Amino acid sequence: MKTIIVGAGSDLGVHIDGAHIGPAQLSSDLQSFYKGDRISFVQDENILKSRNLSDRRKNEYDIDKFNSAIYKAILENINNEAFPILLGGDHSVAVASALASAKKYTDIGIIWIDAHGDFNTFDTTVTGNIHGLPLAAITGYKNHELRYFHDGNTINPENAVIVGARSLDPAEKDNLKYAGVTVFTTEDIKEQGVEAIMSKAFEIASKKTKGVHVSFDLDVIDPSLAPGVSVPEFDGITVEEAMEINKQVVKHIDKVVSYDLVEYNPLRDLERKTEQIAINLVAQIIKAVEKKDKYGKIDLTQQQAEQYKVKIVPPKEEQQPEVKIVPPTELPQPTATVTEQPAETPIPTQPQVIETPMQQQVQPVAQPEIQRL
């Protein structure tokens, strides 16, 4: 089965800068072995990003227009039988990827691998950071403003599972309980083991559904091991446990219809530790999907999994390549029938989108070099 890498370079959903350059960095690393098609979305550099602590709707309209474009592009590629792998960006971009799969397959479940629940609403959010609201929007629990571009089913919260949670706001816990979302904490993973937890997660997410969307937030890993995230939470899982979670995703790849890897922040990484982990996670999924057929089930051996690890070799300082962006192409305006955005605010136009199939040569436009820490 063919894959398509979708870069979603936005950090508008969090007050911390840096996650918007994560997808470009990871996409560059993948060039050594990935020869498939890629699409890159980059947030508008002219946006004045809100960091106001009293603003409960930080950058809402710019996030909506960004996600609207991602949603349409992913849906188009899913309809062409591609398996989308989205590289974020902060976790708000998952609204687009998960709902695009829900539109295509009608009834799907979701496994949300994250230190946070991301199940706040505009009424319960403490920070106003929208990357803390996407799972609620995806499962239809309020937050309709974040999915105005989607006219299909939302994901049934009874088929939604959070894995690795260890930082939930009090009101957020009430939201999760009321909605019926299953939550497995980091402590559950330590006590029961990754295989047992992921087996339960897939059982719940796939019950009477036509597929499962997997969304993997790198902050589920302890920041002493993976520091390159915007909102670290200590007492997380180990790198080995993270890779085992991914191995279990591969084991159930026959049920998986789409995959996210989000929240990589190069500006906070140390010695490229998080970058290396992220690349290895994505590499395993790419290889598994490429071996997947309509009816086949993939179960990688440990030896095969080791073969799919990619070693990042930092270039010499004087040979450090620049990350370049090609001119965007215009996307058509959204045609969604749901128009539940706040009054007196027009539906925003589409963000910049760059389509860069590996087989085509493009003429890049210079962009400031992204510093690797």
Can you read off the two tokens belonging to residue 199?
């087996």
Report the alpha-carbon distance of residue 44 to residue 100 in Å, rounded.
22
3-state secondary structure (DSSP) of residue 115: coil
Dihedral angle sign, alpha carbons of residues 137, 53, 13, 346:
positive
- Give the pLDDT of residue 370: 37
Q: Could you report the average pLDDT of every consecutive run of 10 residues in the chain (373 residues)? A: 96 97 96 93 94 92 97 97 97 98 97 98 96 98 98 97 97 98 98 98 98 98 98 97 98 97 98 98 96 55 55 50 41 39 45 44 38 36
- Give the pLDDT of residue 235: 97
- Give the pLDDT of residue 53: 82
Following CA atoms 26, 59, 15, 88 in sequence, which dihedral angle do they give, to the nearest 10 degrees?
Answer: -20
- Give the pLDDT of residue 314: 57
- Give the pLDDT of residue 308: 53
- Give the pLDDT of residue 338: 35
Which residues, in sequence order, are CB contacts of 340 under 8 Å at separation 6+? 144, 145, 147, 148
- Give the pLDDT of residue 101: 98
Q: What is the pTM of this model?
A: 0.82
3-state secondary structure (DSSP) of residue 98: helix
pLDDT, tens digit, 9 for 90 and up, residues 42-58: 999 999 999 988 899 99
- Give the pLDDT of residue 98: 98
Q: Per DSSP, what are the bridge partners of residue 84?
A: 4
Strands 256-262 and 160-165, sheet pairing: unpaired
- Give the pLDDT of residue 207: 97
Instruction: Specify whether the CB–CB gap between 4 and 82 falls below 8 A.
Output: yes
Candidates 178, 176, 179; CA nearest to 165 is 176
Instruction: Specify whether the CB–CB gap between 19 and 89 falls below 8 A.
Output: yes
Report the alpha-carbon distance of residue 176 to residue 34 in Å, rounded.
38
Q: For the domain 3-355, what is the CATH code?
A: 3.40.800.10
Which residues, in sequence order, are CB contacts of 261 under 8 Å at separation 6+? 26, 85, 86, 87, 88, 216, 218, 278, 281, 282
- Give the pLDDT of residue 121: 98
For the chain, the domains span 3-355
- Give the pLDDT of residue 29: 96
Long-range contacts of 26-30 (CB under 8 A, 24+ apart): 26/87, 26/261, 26/264, 26/275, 26/278, 26/279, 26/282, 27/87, 28/321, 28/323, 29/275, 29/279, 29/310, 29/312, 30/5, 30/279, 30/282, 30/283, 30/286, 30/310
